[in-house]
Structure 1
Amino acid sequence: MKIKEVADLVGISVRTLHHYDEIGLLTPEKTTEAGYRIYSKENLELLQQILFFRELGFPLKKIKEIIHAPTFDKEEALKMHRSRLLNKKDQIDQLISTIDKTLLTMKGEMDMSDKEKFSGFDFSNNPYEEEARQRWGDKALDDANEKLKSKSTEELKEFQDKFNDIYRKLAEIRHEAPDSDIAQARIHDWFVFLNAFGNYSKEAFKGLGEMYVYDERFTKNIDQFGEGLAVFMRDAMAIYADRLGEEE
């Protein structure tokens, strides 16, 4: 579809689609020699995701980080959108009820308590944004990369040596059960190592493990230490993260 057709179908402006392209949020499948942007079915599916995130109050920068993360799962995102929109619907119903009661109070037909006057208002931060960022975002990776940039050549070599040592030790036991004591002990070393220069919550740690298998670039690099290591680490990291949650 051409850009004007997409704009008419969705009900947004051509200028908005131009902006999405310019910032790398939604890039058309191709651009003709004449300069016409052509959108594919996959582009439309991604646009739908973008608009759901926008409906839930996400800024464009956050949406771009999330939908282009290697671990982003479209089906899971749709389920989460549905859940949050139902919550939003409940809040809107509460606000409508507050308005109706206020009108009745103004007419002298009922009395509202001070608490009832503010029922339905919610000024807290968007919890879904943090949930999505942890699930699909790459904030932990961004933070880690920034810290690495500040290290000296000697510190970077020490980091690389430690990194390789942990991976070799994990590769040695990759045929063990991911929930075995030795597997969990060595995954603990990995968790501690990552948090020495990054900021990995249990959710981010688990998401990182999923990315090891989801993104073939990670899988290829990790499996250089031993075939099947990426899958083993993903499973062991998930178990470790779940156990951390149980301890809280």
Structure 2
Amino acid sequence: MAWKVKEVADLVGISIRTLHYYDEIGLLSPLQQTDTGYRLYLQEDLEMLQQILFYRELDFSLKDIKQIIHSSSFDKQQALEQHRTKLIQKRNQLDALIQNVEKSMKHLKGEVEMTDTEKIDGFDFSDNRYEKEARERWGDEAIEQSKKKVAGMSKETEQKVRDIYSQLASLRHISPQSEQSQAAIKEWFECLNTHFGTYSKEAFKGLGQMYIVDERFTKNIDQYGEGLAQFMSEAMAYFADEKEGL
């Protein structure tokens, strides 16, 4: 059986324009055509579209998806098994976040107590959504080293990261140049270099700038406390400039 582009769009629930775009970039280009030149999607094309949708659900870029599914080593069965594993992980994280939201609602009503650590339960610190920007700034080697360390991050290390962020959040209403603030930001600098790669003072300062110029960073960090991203950025800049001047 073969489907026209509109039929596929209606079946899947995506726009005709999206399918045309996939065709234009070589992501999904059905080879069969009608006598009048219309593309026809076969069963194999639909199976490939399914793979694309799975990868999109897992936040892969179209460029990365194209590279994966058109690789000579691509295995559909293996890919489905990987999708299942990652989607279960995603579901478990969403369940934890839902529990966090429900407990936070009760906390605001005064029904339960909630520690600072509990307030960020469920957030995933291993997902580097900013990898492309980081690679452009600091190169592939540094990022690969960081990814290896993140992959092997222990529960103790993850807890340490949370503790540092919570500590910084508690200081965000005082001067980022204060002795207390600088001691805490120094601990963050040492934590990054110990567990996530090698950061020079310049790279550390640049990372702090990304905390405020990239709204994704700001939103993620400010979950610990409104204004934390701005505070950390200023503290990191002062720390880097002072240390470089020594």
Could you tell me which amino acid in structure 2 is paired with residue 75 of structure 1? Q
Counterpart for residue 111 of structure 2? 109
1:28 offset after TM fit, Å? 1.1
Equivalents in 2 of 1:110, 1:84: separation in Å?
Answer: 33
Larger RCO (CA under 8 A, 6+ residues apart): 1
Equivalents in 1 of 2:128, 2:55: separation in Å?
Answer: 11
Could you tell me which amino acid in structure 1 is paired with residue 105 of structure 2? L
Q: How does 1:44-193 map to 2 (within 5 A)?
A: 44-125=46-127
1:122 offset after TM fit, Å? 1.5
Equivalents in 2 of 1:123, 1:111: separation in Å?
Answer: 24
1:36 offset after TM fit, Å? 1.2
Could you tell me which amino acid in structure 2 is paired with residue 71 of structure 1? S
Equivalents in 2 of 1:51, 1:72: separation in Å?
Answer: 16
Equivalents in 1 of 2:58, 2:111: separation in Å?
Answer: 36
Could you tell me which amino acid in structure 2 is paired with residue 28 of structure 1? P
Could you tell me which amino acid in structure 1 is paired with residue 5 of structure 2? I
Equivalents in 2 of 1:3, 1:126: separation in Å?
Answer: 35
Equivalents in 1 of 2:126, 2:115: separation in Å?
Answer: 22
Equivalents in 2 of 1:29, 1:112: separation in Å?
Answer: 58
Could you tell me which amino acid in structure 2 is paired with residue 93 of structure 1? D
Counterpart for residue 41 of structure 1? 43
Could you tell me which amino acid in structure 2 is paired with residue 18 of structure 1? H
1:98 offset after TM fit, Å? 0.3
Counterpart for residue 244 of structure 2? none
Q: Which of the residues 21, 24, 35 maps onto 1:22?
A: 24
Equivalents in 1 of 2:35, 2:56: separation in Å?
Answer: 32
Equivalents in 1 of 2:33, 2:23: separation in Å?
Answer: 11
Equivalents in 2 of 1:20, 1:59: separation in Å?
Answer: 12
Equivalents in 1 of 2:56, 2:76: separation in Å?
Answer: 15
Could you tell me which amino acid in structure 2 is paired with residue 25 of structure 1? L
Equivalents in 2 of 1:90, 1:29: separation in Å?
Answer: 39
Secondary structure of the corresponding residue to residue 119 of structure 1: coil
Equivalents in 1 of 2:102, 2:127: separation in Å?
Answer: 27
Could you tell me which amino acid in structure 1 is paired with residue 18 of structure 2? T
Report the aligned-residue RMSD: 1.6
Counterpart for residue 133 of structure 1? none
Equivalents in 1 of 2:73, 2:81: separation in Å?
Answer: 16
Equivalents in 2 of 1:102, 1:29: separation in Å?
Answer: 53
Equivalents in 1 of 2:115, 2:49: separation in Å?
Answer: 44
C-alpha contact 1:29 1:43 (8 A) present in aligned 2: no
C-alpha contact 1:2 1:36 (8 A) present in aligned 2: yes
Please, which runs of 5 or more residues in structure 2 have no aligned partner?
Answer: 132-246
Could you tell me which amino acid in structure 1 is paired with residue 25 of structure 2? I
Please, which runs of 5 or more residues in structure 1 have no aligned partner?
Answer: 130-248
1:123 offset after TM fit, Å? 4.1
1:31 offset after TM fit, Å? 2.6
